Amino acid sequence: MQKMHGLRQTRWTPVNRMLILIGMNAALPEITTDLAADLAALPPALADHLRGIAAAPAPFGGFPGLRLLPQDPALPQQKAAALAALLARNYGAAIENRAAVAGRLADLRAELARRGLAGLIIPLTDEFHGEYLPLRAQRLTWLTGFTGSAGLCIVLPERAALWSDGRYTLQLRQQVDAGLFELLHSIDQPPTDWLRKALRPGEKLGYDAWLHTEDALKRFAAAAQAAKAELVAVSDNPVDSVWTDQPPPPLAPVVPQPEIYAGQSSAAKRAAIAAGLHQQGVDAVLLTLPESICWLLNIRGGDVKHTPFALAMAVLRQDATLDLFIDTRKLAPETLAHLGPQIRLQPPEALDAALQALGAAHLTVQADPATAGAYPLQLLEQAGARLKRADDPCLLPKACKNAVELDGIRAAHLRDGAAICRFLAWLASDAQEGGVDELQAQDKLEACRRLDNSLRDLSFTSISGAGPNGAVVHYRATPETNRRLEPGNLYLIDSGGQYPDGTTDITRTIAIGTPTAEMRDAFTRVLKGHIAIARAKFPDGTAGQQLDALARYALWQAGLDYDHGTGHGVGAYLSVHEGPHRIAKGGSMVALKPGMIVSNEPGYYKTGAFGIRIENLVAVQVEIEKAENGKAWLGFETLTRAPIDRNLIETGLLSPEEIDWVNAYHAQVWTDIAPRLDDATRSWLEAATARL
Amino acid sequence: MQKMHGLRQTRWTPVNRMLILIGMNAALPEITTDLAADLAALPPALADHLRGIAAAPAPFGGFPGLRLLPQDPALPQQKAAALAALLARNYGAAIENRAAVAGRLADLRAELARRGLAGLIIPLTDEFHGEYLPLRAQRLTWLTGFTGSAGLCIVLPERAALWSDGRYTLQLRQQVDAGLFELLHSIDQPPTDWLRKALRPGEKLGYDAWLHTEDALKRFAAAAQAAKAELVAVSDNPVDSVWTDQPPPPLAPVVPQPEIYAGQSSAAKRAAIAAGLHQQGVDAVLLTLPESICWLLNIRGGDVKHTPFALAMAVLRQDATLDLFIDTRKLAPETLAHLGPQIRLQPPEALDAALQALGAAHLTVQADPATAGAYPLQLLEQAGARLKRADDPCLLPKACKNAVELDGIRAAHLRDGAAICRFLAWLASDAQEGGVDELQAQDKLEACRRLDNSLRDLSFTSISGAGPNGAVVHYRATPETNRRLEPGNLYLIDSGGQYPDGTTDITRTIAIGTPTAEMRDAFTRVLKGHIAIARAKFPDGTAGQQLDALARYALWQAGLDYDHGTGHGVGAYLSVHEGPHRIAKGGSMVALKPGMIVSNEPGYYKTGAFGIRIENLVAVQVEIEKAENGKAWLGFETLTRAPIDRNLIETGLLSPEEIDWVNAYHAQVWTDIAPRLDDATRSWLEAATARL
C-alpha cells in the first residue's frame, strides 16, 4: 500500500469510506425498534458497553465486541447486533452531519469564551498518534464536515480555518462551508503564518497537549509569541464538552497473540527491554504506541480500522513488570490468564496519577517525543521525573521479525497469493470487455480473500483504480468516482489482508485489453526498479534511504519519477505501515536489519491517463555471514506470490539478469501457488508465469 | 583524488612528503654562506619578508614570493633564492627534529604551569580549518614528531596523549616516543573518554578557540565537566610562546584571477551576496574560508600546498564593501588595482577590533559555525552583535560554476588529458617489464604535465601505488615504500593539476602485464559503478547522497565495497576538495545543481594484493529543462579525457548500454586528445580507445 505524506500525520482511509462500509456491509436484521427507548430500557452499564462495541470497527460487517457483552435476558445477541449496527450508523451519520456544522462551531466558540480562551487548535489525531482514528476522536470531521485523511482546524472568535493538502483541495470545497472556515493549503499557506496574522495580542489559544508532539507545539508557540498571544494547554478538550452525542472509546476484544505466531513470550520480550532500560539507568518507560504494547504483550485488538490494535498505554519498569492502562471490558477471559501476574491492569484514567507517582519518586522515565503527545512528557517533568527523551524501545525489536514470525508471514503470503491469483484469473476472463467496475473488482478481491477463513480483516481499504483513477496515488473508489475497467486501460489494485500469522500488502497493475507502447515502456522501467531492489545485496549498516535511487534509475533515465517513497515497514499481524525503517529519499538513516519487512513498490503515474505500481513485500535476510571486509552482507527475500503482468513487460528493455529474475520469480509463484488452485485458475497461472 | 576521513578534519598530504619535496626539488645554487650571519646583515624588514617567503610552499622548487621581495643591493635575487631555500629546509628540519621533542614538551608544560593551566589541547589545524597547514601552524608535528595528516594531542602535567586513526597506527609508533605520549586510536579510544579519566577535579584545560569549532568544543567541555574540571580559552597559543624558531605566516604573491577565467567580476559577486544579506536582514558576514575569499575577490595566492589560496579573512557588508584582513606584503602591484576602492585593506591583527566594532554597533553578523573557529563567534556575541549562525554564503555560488568557468575547466582537462595520455603511453611501452618504480612513474607524470607551461602546481601529491600499495587508499610513495611496477601488478595512479583555468583530478588503474580474472572482474564492477554515475539522470533537487549506491550496486552484488565516498566537489583553480555537495553515503542532503563539479571515483581495494579506482571529474548539467512533472532533469557531463584500460574490462559483464558508454567515451577521448599528441602517442591512443 502506498504511504502518503499528510498535513501533520498520515491516514490511509477517508472516514466516509469507513462509514459507507459499515452502512453497506452490516447485516442488519429487520429493525422495527426504537433505538433510544431500547437503550433506555437496558441496565445503564450494559447500554454503555453496547455503545463502546458500536464505536469499534465492524470488519466484514460484524462487531467482534458483541461476544464479550455480558449475557442479559433483556438483550438477546441478535437484538444486540441490530442495536450496535444502528448505533454505529447513527454515530457515523451524526459525525458527518454537515447541516449541524454551523451550530457546532457556535457551541464551541461559546464554550471557549466560557473558558477564557480566544481559540482552539483541532488537529486530526488522537492521543495514540496512529494512522486510524476511532469515531470518538473524529473531532475535526464532527466540527467541519471534512472527511479527508489529513487536516488541521483552528477556531478563533471571528475566524476559523481548515487546512489540508493538495490531494484534498476539491474535497475541502465540496464538504466544508467556506463561509464558516477559510479553506487553506497546508504547504502554501501554513497554519503558523495564518496564526501570526489572525491572533491578537493578549489572546489565549487553547490546545489539547495529548494531540500534539512537543516539536509541533514549539512551532505553534513561536507563531503565537510573534503575535504577542499565548498558547494555553486545556485540561480537557473543549470539543468534547459541546459534542453531546460523542461516541465512547471503542470496545473491541483484546485476545492473546499465540506464541506459535509471535515466536517469543511476552515475558522474554519484557525482560529484554527491561535489561536495556537497566543498562541505560532508566527506571521505567512510558509506552504510548498501541503497536508497541500489542507486540510487547503478545495481544491483539480491534479498536481501529484494518489494524489489530488494542488502544492502551503502558509503563514498563526496569523489573519487567508493566502497568497496562486499559478498559478491562475489552479483555477476553483468556487474555487475563495470558497477561499473568506481572501485568498490573489499571483503568485508562489512572495514567495521570501513575505518572505523577513516577515523578514524585524522582525516577528516570523514558518517553518518545516523536510519537507521544506532549502531555505525558510535560506531566512527568512537572511531577519531578528525570525525563529521558528517546525512541520507543519496542520499535526496533518489533521491526526485526523472529524466525517464527517470518514463517507465519511466509505462510500468510501463500494463502494471500492464492487469493490474488484467483482474482487475477477472474480479471483476465471476466474484466477484459469493460463489464466490471472498480468497486466490483475490489469486492471480488475481498471475496477471494475471504475464502480463507483465517482472514481477520483487510489491512487497508483497497485502492482500485482504472485508467486515470490509477494515476491518483491516494485513490479510493466511491460510487461517484467509480469507473469501468475499459479495454485500453491499465488497472491498478493495491490491497492487503490481516491474517493471524501475517499482514500482507500487494499492488498489481494489469493491462485491460491491449496496452500502448508508452504503457509497456513505463511499466518495464518500474519493473526494472522493482527488480533492482529485489536483487540488491548490500553491507550491514546500509539504510533504506541509500537504496531508494536504485528503484528510480531506469525511470529517471527517461525523465520519469514517482512522488512517493519506495518502501515502508510492515508489521506481523499489526500495522501495514510501521517504522523505524523505510526505503525513501530523505529522513531516516535507520539501517536495514535481518528480519525487517519492507515493501518494494516503485511506480509511475501519468496524470489523467494511467497509474503503474508493482509492489511486493520483502524480508531483509543475511546473504553472506561475513564478507571480505568482515561485515555481514544483506539482501531481500521476496515474500509476495503473484504473477506480474507479462503483457506489460517490454522484454527488450530488460537485461539478462532482470529476465532471469522475472522467470525465477514466476517459477516460484507457480511452485508455491499452483497446488492451492482449482484447475481453471491453475491453467491461467501456468500461462501467467510462463518464461519470458 | 580520494578524500579520507580524518580525526577531526581531513588532510591529504603528509607533511614529511612536502618537506622531502622542498628538499629534493629546490634548485639550490652553491651555498657557501652562513645563513644566520647573512640574515643578520640584512635590514630587519627585508629579513622578515624573506622568512615569510621561505615559509610559503615552493611549487616545483621555486619560491613565487621572491618576485615581490623589495629590491635591495644587499640581496641579489639569486642569493635571496638560496637563502629562502636554506631557510625552508631549516624550518622543515626543525619541525621534524624528533630529538627535540622531550625538551619541547617540558617547555610547554612549564609555560602552561606559568599560565595556571593544567593542560592544553593541540589539534592538527589552523584558524582557516583547511586541508593544508602552513609551516607555522604545524604545532602538533613540532611538539610530537608525528607527521600524519590526522591527529590530536592533549598535554596534561603528568600525562600526554596523541590520537590518530587506523591509517597511522604504525607511523605513530615509528615517529613518536611512547614514553612521552600515549598513542591512541581516535575511534576506539576517543579523546573525550581519555579526558574524563585523566583530568582531575578543579584543573583548567586550555584550548585555542581559533582552532576548534563550537561543536567540537561542546564535546570537550562535557568531558571536562564530567571530570569536574574546566575548559579555558587561551588568549594566545602556549605552543607559540615556547616555539622560539616558529616560522612566520607564509608570504606568497596574491594575484588577480582574470575575468576570462572567473567569468564574473568580484563586484558582481559581492553585490549578489550582499543582496542576499540584505534580504535576510544581515548587516555583515564574517568570511573565514580562504577559498570563499579567493572566489569572491577573484584572487589567487600560494600560501598552502597545491592550492592557490591566499590566507586571509574578510568581513563583507550589506553595501557590498569588504574589509580584507591580509598581510599587504603578499599583494602583487596589479592586485591593488584589481581589488579597487570597495575593498578596505587591513592587517590580520585588526580583525579583533573590527569584530568588536560590529558588536558595539549591535549589528546582525553572520558566521558559519561549521567552518569557522569558535573564537570570532564568541567575540562577536560578547561584543554585542546579533550573531546569525548560517552557512558561508559563498559556498553554493562558488560550487555552481558559470559558463566561463566551465569552458576553462573543459580546456584544462584537454591539456591535462594530453599529459595523462603521454604518461599512459610511456607506461605501456616502458613500464611493462618491472623496470619502473612508483616514484619514477609519478615523476614521469609530473614531467608530462609540466610540458604545459600553464601548469601552476599539482593539485595534490600523486598517489602512485603498485600491487599491494595500490590497496592503501591514502598511499603516498616514499623511498622506503617504493615498489617496482611488476608484471602481474595493477598500478593505480591518482593525480591532478592546478591550471589557471581549472583544477583536475583523475585516477587510472593500469594492468602491468597480464591481469588475473579476479582483477578483471573487480575492475569491471568498479567500471559499472562509474558508468552508472556517469549516465545517471535525475530530477532537480536530488542530492549526491541519493546517487551513491548506484556506484556500488555491481560491487555489492559480489560482496565487495569500498570504504570511501564516491565523489567530492572540485574548485575552479581552487581546492581539489570543496563542498557543499558530494556523492557519499551519509551526511549532506545538499542538492546537485547545474555547474557543480564532482568526482566520480568508485574503487575496490584488496588488502595486500591490489587497488582499483576509476576517477573522472563530471559537471552537473541540465538534461531536460522541464520534465513531465515540471521539474528540471539533471545529469553529468564527463570532463576528464583519458582512456580506461581495455585490458581490464570483462566485456561480458557489461550491458549493451554500458559498452556503448565506454565506446562513446573513448571516441570522445580520441577526438579531443589525438590532435594534441605526437605520432607515436597517437598510435597508442588509437589502440587504447578502440571499440570494445
Per-residue pLDDT tens digits for B570-618: 999 999 999 899 999 876 789 999 999 999 999 999 999 999 999 999 9
**Would you say residue B39 has pLDDT above 70?**
yes
Average pLDDT value over all residues in chain A: 93
pLDDT band of A166, cuts 50, 70, 90: confident
Buried (b) or exposed (e) across A665-678, using 16+ Cβ within 10 A? bbeebbeebbebbe
Whether the CB-CB separation of A564 and A603 falls below 8 Å is answered with yes
pLDDT for res B474: 85
At A436, the pLDDT band (50, 70, 90 cuts) reads: very high
**Per-residue model confidence (pLDDT) at position B34:** 86
Could A550 and B548 be called an inter-chain contact, meaning their C-beta atoms sit closer than 8 Å? no
- Give the pLDDT of residue A434: 85
Residue A22, pLDDT > 80, answer no
According to DSSP, the β-strands at B364-367 and B343-346 are unpaired
Which residues of B are less than 8 Å from A548 in CB distance? Answer: 546
Do residues B614 and B530 touch, judged by C-beta distance below 8 A?
yes
pLDDT of residue A167: 83
- Quick: pLDDT tens for A457-466: 999 999 999 9
Task: Please report residues of B whose CB lies closer than 8 A to that of A549.
Answer: 538, 542, 546-547, 549-550
Candidates A553, A562, A592, partner chain B, best to mutate (most B CBs within 10 A): A553
Residues B131 and B307: beta-carbon distance below 8 Å: yes
Q: So what's the pLDDT on residue B145?
A: 96
A546 vs B542, B549, B589: nearest CB: B549
Please determine, for residue A133, whether its predicted confidence score (pLDDT) is greater than 70.
Answer: yes
Question: Closest approach of chain A CAs to the CA of B626, in angstroms?
Answer: 9
**Rounded Cα–Cα distance for residues B73 and B171 (Å):** 47
Measured between CA atoms, the residue of chain A closest to residue B562 is A629
Buried-exposed string A506-537: b where 16+ CB fall within 10 A, e elsewhere: bbbbbbbeebeeebbbbbbbbbbbbbbbbbbb
- Per-residue pLDDT of B297-344, as tens digits, reads 999 999 999 999 999 999 999 999 999 999 999 999 999 999 999 999
B563 with A629: Cβ contact below 8 A: yes
Note whether A539 contacts B547, CB cutoff 8 Å. Answer: no
pLDDT tier at A672, thresholds 50, 70, 90: very high
pLDDT at res. A137? 97
Gap from A633 CA to chain B (nearest CA, Å): 7
Q: With contact defined as beta carbons under 8 Å apart, do B152 and B163 qualify?
A: yes
User: How far is B133 from B95, CA to CA, in rounded Å?
Assistant: 13
Residue numbers in B near A535 (CB within 8 A) = 557
CA distance B251 to B302: 8
For residue A525, the distance in angstroms to the closest alpha carbon of chain B comes to: 14
Subunit contact B559:A537, Cβ cutoff 8 A: yes
Mean pLDDT (chain B) is 93
Span B170-186, pLDDT tens digits? 899 999 999 999 999 99
Q: Which residue has 590532435 as its cell numbers?
A: B675
Beta strands in B199-318 (DSSP E): 204-207, 230-233, 255-256, 284-287, 299-300, 313-317
CB contact (8 A) between residue A536 and residue B547: no
Q: Are the Cβ atoms of B539 and A549 closer than 8 angstroms?
A: no
Euclidean distance between CA atoms A310 and B421, whole angstroms: 70
Measured between alpha carbons, how far is residue B494 from residues B305, B447, B509 in Å?
17, 15, 9
- The residues, any chain, with a CB within 8 Å of residue B58's CB and separated by 6 or more, are B22, B25, B26, B64, B84, B85, B88
Q: Is A553 in Cβ contact with B532 (below 8 Å)? A: yes
Residue of A nearest to B590 (CA): A586
- Residue A30, pLDDT > 80, answer no
**Which tens digit of pLDDT belongs to each residue from B623-649?**
999 998 899 999 999 999 999 999 999
All residues of chain A having their beta carbon less than 8 Å from the beta carbon of residue B559 are 537, 623-624, 627-628, 633
Contacts of B403 (CB under 8 A, 6+ apart): B263
CB within 8 Å: B556 and A655: no
B604-607 long-range CB contacts below 8 Å, 24 or more apart?
A: B604/B522, B604/B523, B604/B525, B604/B526, B604/B555, B604/B560, B604/B561, B604/B562, B605/B470, B605/B471, B605/B472, B605/B473, B605/B562, B605/B563, B606/A628, B606/B471, B606/B518, B606/B522, B607/B468, B607/B471
Taking the C-alpha atoms of residue A165 and residue A188, their distance in angstroms, rounded to an integer, is: 9
Extended beta strands in A243-311, E state: 255-256, 284-287, 299-300
Q: Out of A535, A539, A561, name the one closest to residue B561 (CB).
A: A539
- Please write the tens of the pLDDT for every residue from A487-507: 999 999 999 999 999 999 999
List of long-range contacts for A474-483, beta carbons under 8 Å, 24+ apart: A474/A2, A474/A4, A474/A149, A474/A167, A475/A611, A476/A13, A476/A14, A476/A17, A477/A438, A477/A439, A477/A442, A478/A16, A478/A17, A478/A20, A479/A439, A481/A438, A482/A437, A482/A438, A482/A439, A483/A437, A483/A438
Min Cα–Cα distance to chain A from B463, Å: 23
Q: How far is B586 from chain A (nearest CA, A)?
A: 8
Lowest mean pLDDT among A27-31, A174-178, A400-404, B141-145: A27-31
Pairs of residues, one from chain A and one from chain B, whose beta carbons lie less than 8 Å apart = 73
Residues in chain B: 692
> What percent of chain A has a predicted confidence (pLDDT) above 70?
95
What pLDDT digit, counting tens, does each position of B195-237 carry? 999 999 999 999 999 999 999 999 999 999 989 999 999 989 9
Task: State the pLDDT at residue B18.
Answer: 36
Share of chain B above pLDDT 90, in %: 90
* Amino acid identity, position A495: S
B-chain CB neighbours of A553 within 8 Å are 532, 536, 550
